[in-house]
Amino acid sequence: MKTLTPIAAAMLVAFSVNTFADNNAAILFQVGSGNMAATDQSGVTVHNNLIVQTQIGDSNDSDASQTTGTNNSVTTHLQVGESNFTISAQQNSTSLSSILINQTGEMNEAEAEQDGVTASSALVNQVGSMNKAGVFQDEVTVSSALVNQVGSMNEAMVEQEAGVVASINSVNQVGSMNGAVVEQEVGVVASIAFVNQIGSMNGANVFQEEVTASSIFVNQVGSMNQADAMQVEGGVVASIILVNQVGSMNVAEVDQRAGVFASIGSVNQVGSMNLAEVFQQDGMITSSAFVNQVGSMNEAEVAQEVGVVASIASVNQVGSMNDADVFQEEVTVSSALINQVGSMNNADVSQEEVTASIALVNQVGAMNDATIMQTDAALSFASTTQIGSNNMHTTTQTGVGQTAIAVQIGIGNMGTIVQ
């Protein structure tokens, strides 16, 4: 007895609405079982749009709509695998724009929405399982939002809101359980926000508001690294935030606020459990803050506040458990530099209402302690060098035209300079 077996079987459910609209097209292709697709291009103000939905596999769900004044736009959903879910909407006078969602694997979720968007695009690519992505663009012009996820259980949210022009918002995740939130809000012009995560359980938060020609770049390679980068509250122009983390359990925070112009905040961490905080705000002009950490459990804090102009703050730490703090307030054309090589060294530099001053701390060894304080001083210079262990030195400058140099070589030296 011969039995006839179907070569392929397909079960599909499809819903399409295209009422009172002109020149819209919808293309649906389904192969597998239990797939569901819904298409909506209804409304008298919806014209010249295209929706393409392809489902290959089982139990996939695709929901695409282009309504309320959407014209000359395209939505494409491609699902290959099982139990993937995607929903997208283009509405409220969106024109010349596109949404592209590609899912390969199982149980991935993607959502994309464009509301009042012109000549912009939203792209989501998911390869793997249980990834989640959301892209939201509202009143965005000539801009792009991109999410790429390869692996499992990654989560990404990308948002661009009113007044974003000629900007790019992008997240790339390769690995598992990485999380990223990237926002560009009111009045962002010609700016870039980019997050790259390779590894597992990395977290990144990027936020820009009322920013012009500025960029944030976060790169994380390893596991359990955390990065927070913010440029907010108007007046941030032509400025850059850079965060690079290679290793595990590193934490970096960079914050640039109102009135930051042509400035750079940069953190580089290679190793594990390093902590870096950089704050630049209120009247920062062409100033820079750099933190470099190579090793483990190093801590650095750099703060430049209120009227800092053309100044540099830099911390370099190589080793373990070193601690460095730099504070600059109302400083002009000044520099604060700390270099620590070894372990458990501590350095503090404070500059307040200082013009054209330099403070340098160089520590090589272990458990050295150095402090430099410059207050109400012009043309001051202070340098402390410690080579060895358990050395201590404090320099205080409050006058005009002062110079101080201290060198400690050996073990257990102590010194104080007051000017």
Local confidence pLDDT in tens for the 419 residues of the chain:
333 333 233 334 455 555 556 789 999 999 999 999 999 998 889 999 999 999 999 999 999 999 999 999 999 999 999 999 999 999 999 999 999 999 999 999 999 999 999 999 999 999 999 999 999 999 999 999 999 999 999 999 999 988 899 999 999 999 999 999 999 888 889 999 999 999 999 999 999 988 899 999 999 999 999 999 998 877 788 999 999 999 999 999 999 888 888 889 999 999 999 999 999 888 788 889 999 999 999 999 999 888 888 889 999 999 999 999 999 988 888 899 999 999 999 999 999 888 888 999 999 999 999 999 998 877 889 999 999 999 999 999 987 888 999 999 999 999 999 98
- Give the separation between CA 143 and CA 158, rounded to whole angstroms: 12
Q: Residue 10 domain-assigned?
A: yes
What is the rounded distance in angstroms from the CA atom of residue 80 to the CA atom of residue 89? 21
Instruction: Give residues with Cβ within 8 angstroms of 252, minimum separation 6.
Output: 225, 226, 227, 228, 243, 245, 267, 269, 275, 276, 277, 291
Q: Dihedral sign for Cα 88, 89, 94, 96, please.
A: positive
pTM over 0.85: yes
Tracing tokens 């298409």 back to the chain, one arrives at 39
Provide the number of structural domains found in the chain: 1
Does 111 map to a domain? yes
Specify the DSSP element, H or E, that contains 177. none
Q: What is the pLDDT of residue 21?
A: 61
Residue 260 falls within a domain, yes or no?
no
Residue 303, in any domain of the structure: no
Q: Is residue 99 part of a domain?
A: yes
Task: Tell me, yes or no, whether 414 lies in a domain.
Answer: no
- Residue 42 domain-assigned (yes or no): yes
Numbers of helices and strands, H then E, in the chain: 0, 39
Buried b (16+ CB within 10 A) or exposed e, 45-74: ebbebbbbbbbbbbbbbbbbbbbbbbbebb
Domain contains 59: yes
Rg (CA), the chain: 27
Q: Give the pLDDT score at 187.
A: 84
CB 304, CB 289: distance < 8 Å: yes
Domain span at residue 119 reads: 1-151
